[in-house]
Every structure is written in structure tokens, then in C-alpha cells.
Structure 1
């Protein structure tokens, strides 16, 4: 979870040669913008590829997104899905919902992450089959519910060995860790989580 450090090398300042024309300045400006765009595109591509890798196959991941999107539209939007899946207290509002994966001991589970003014909650898109105490196989949706006031911190981290493999770690005051991954926009997801937790601490 370490941060990337600078290599400590000094970079000499670029000094324009004699005869540096305004036209050359425009070209340099365009090249800089192109480089920035290239970097943004590359980062977005990494996010998409990572999102796809978490599924078994590309087609499976695409089908999951389409199927989940269709279900959300049928129900009437994220807010209605949220209210159907979880109990909502008086005055509680849904801030944002994201498609992502929850890391479990059995592997990543695809589903929806909901961020409200009271809690952070996750529900798997598919039901999971498990063995009951009496030996029968039962199916249920994997759910996680974390009250905002029980969250100690939220961290946006990278895999040291694989910098493109990012994840958002939610740590509770009773030392439970939840790892969410596969976001197409980690910064946006992280900001919503951080904002919700900070506001809960103020109330």
C-alpha cells in the first residue's frame, strides 16, 4: 500500500533556443494537450481492462452490466433498488451508487455499492449458493451494511506489485476491512465515500 516515490533525479529546466517563434509555442502547447489526453485515455483503459479482468470473460462482464442495467431500469432507478434491498431510515438519502466488485475469500463478487447519508451498503448482483446447517443448499444475495459512524477511515490504495490494480479499503472502528474494486472511476467513488464518512462524523 506504499506510495510511489520520486526517483530523486533532478530534471533540467527546458530553455528555449534562439529564434523560438510563437508558431513553435502553439505546436508545443498542442503536443502537451495531446500528451495529457493520451495519459487520461491510458488511465481510463487500465480501469476498463481491470474491470473486465475481474469477470471470467469479457462477454460475461458486458452481459452482467447490461443485465444489471436492465434490472435497474425495470425497477425504476438506483434509489428504488436501494429501498427494496435495504431498510431505509427516516430522512436517509441515497447519494450515489456504483457497479463494482467486493473482495471475498471465495473471490470477487459483482454487485452494487450504495452510498447514503446513513450507511455504505453492497448487494451482489447474483444470488450465491451455500450449504445450510441441515445440509440443504440455499441461495441468497450477498449483502454488506456498514453504518457511516462505524467507519474509521476510507483509503484508496494500489497493489505495490501491480500499480494498476487499485482498490478502495473501508476500515471500521471494530477492525473489519472491506475491499471494493473494479470501479471505472476510482477517484469519483473514493470522493463520495470520503465525503459521506466525513459528514457523518460532523453530525
Structure 2
């Protein structure tokens, strides 16, 4: 299976983040294959995921419902469904999430990955699907597919969209729910210097909040309370 898929976007996703110190660009070196767009692909992806959940019917129903909400956010639901399969393949070929995290972002002294979570990050060009890694020292996001940047000069560049936030750079972390649609849940992060990020479309939102709180609590304990961001 090809591990790369193009997400065509406008020039805005690059130009709007040129001065953002938390956004990192990684060039995609492999050609992207044609995106699938059939409902058969979506259903196949969901069936594969639901089989892994186990025999607990209630848990399976909740997971499948969350997965449907996750893929509906994408402008191409088939791409969102395939992203989960592609990410699983990438994890297996790289030896697990810990090694994939280290290869993608490096590792800080004493840092330990707590959990990764499938989600989207909001950008000027729309939601970008990827994985949010929560560690004892950082929140780090990387797009599952290369984001394709089409400039006015007709240059065609594909990049992996990354956001890296150290815990000591966070000002506020706020879980948010859409009052009109309670299934729409977000995590809003504002840095100490005023940069704002929205993460949404989590497959496991409640677990992500729990892990996030664990990371913030550990950070507060290690900093003896001398931190701008508080546990949830």
C-alpha cells in the first residue's frame, strides 16, 4: 500500500504559517497516488477498525460512531478512512508508535511518549488529518499525508504539516464542545506568545483529554508549580 496521499490545498496553508515558530515543514519525497473516493473504501476501513475493538458491543458502537464523525470532517471521506489504514501500516513498518514518534520529531532528554491520537488540525485551508502525539514534554502533530502546495508560479510542492509544542510553551489548554452539536468536540491550545491551535475530529476524544491532563499534571509536578498552563 502506498504510504503517501496528496491533499491539495491553496497557497494559504504555507503562507499563513511562514512566521509561526511552532509549524514545521517536512518535504515529502515520494510521489502520491490517486485518492480513492468510493463508499466501498470507507465501509471497508470502518469494518476493519471495528473488528479490532473486541467483543464489547457498546464499546464497538461508540468507536464506530466516533470513527464516522472523524471521517465526515474531511473534504474527502475516503481519504480520511484510508488515512487510518495507512497510519496503521506506517506504525507496523516502523516498529511501533514510539519509534515512529522518534523518527518524526526526534526525542528530548527524559521524554516519553504517552499516547498518539488520530485527529485533525484546523488550518486556513481547512482541516488536515493526522496524528497528535502526547508525550511527557511535548504535543506534536504530523499530517498523515503530504499536503500539496500549489503556488502562483505553478510549482508543485508536497510537504508533511507538523506542529510541535513544548509543554512549557503552552498558555491555556481548553476542551470545547459545540453546543449545537455535542458530537463536535475540540481541543483549543493557546501558546504563551499568543499562537492558537484547534485540534478536532478525535476518534478517542475522552481518552485524549485524559492523556493530555496526565501530561500537564506531570509537567506541573516536575516544574514545582512554576508553569503557565494548569491541568484540566
Q: TM-score, normalised by structure 1?
A: 0.72
Pick closer, same or farther for the CA change 1:41–1:72 going to 2, 3 Å. closer
* Matching residue of 2:174: 155
**Aligned partners of 1:111 and 1:122 also within 8 Å:** yes
Larger mean CA deviation between 116-125 and 146-155 belongs to 146-155
**Aligned partners of 1:154 and 1:168 also within 8 Å:** yes
| Post-superposition CA distance 1:162-184 (Å, at most 9, x none) | 22211111222222221111112
- Separation of aligned partners in 2, 1:116 and 1:174: 21
- Separation of aligned partners in 2, 1:56 and 1:107: 9
Which consecutive unaligned segments of at least 5 residues does structure 2 have?
A: 1-55, 223-232
- Separation of aligned partners in 1, 2:221 and 2:156: 45
Structure with higher RCO (Cα < 8 A, 6+ apart): 2
Pick closer, same or farther for the CA change 1:44–1:89 going to 2, 3 Å. closer
- From 90, 110, 119, the counterpart of 1:71: 90
* Matching residue of 1:194: 213
Q: CA RMSD in A?
A: 2.5
SS of 2:123's equivalent? coil
**Aligned partners of 1:153 and 1:172 also within 8 Å:** yes
Shift of 1:108: 0.8
Pick closer, same or farther for the CA change 1:63–1:41 going to 2, 3 Å. closer
**Aligned partners of 1:94 and 1:114 also within 8 Å:** yes
Which consecutive unaligned segments of at least 5 residues does structure 1 have?
A: 1-36
- Separation of aligned partners in 1, 2:113 and 2:58: 33
Shift of 1:48: 2.5
- From 93, 106, 113, the counterpart of 1:87: 106
Pick closer, same or farther for the CA change 1:44–1:63 going to 2, 3 Å. closer
Pick closer, same or farther for the CA change 1:92–1:53 going to 2, 3 Å. same
Higher strand share: 1
| Structure possessing the higher radius of gyration over alpha carbons | 1
Query: How many aligned positions are there?
Result: 167
Q: TM-score, normalised by structure 2?
A: 0.64
Residue 172 (str. 1) matches residue 191 (str. 2): yes
- Separation of aligned partners in 1, 2:161 and 2:117: 16
- Separation of aligned partners in 2, 1:139 and 1:88: 25
SS of 1:126's equivalent? coil
**Aligned partners of 2:120 and 2:127 also within 8 Å:** yes
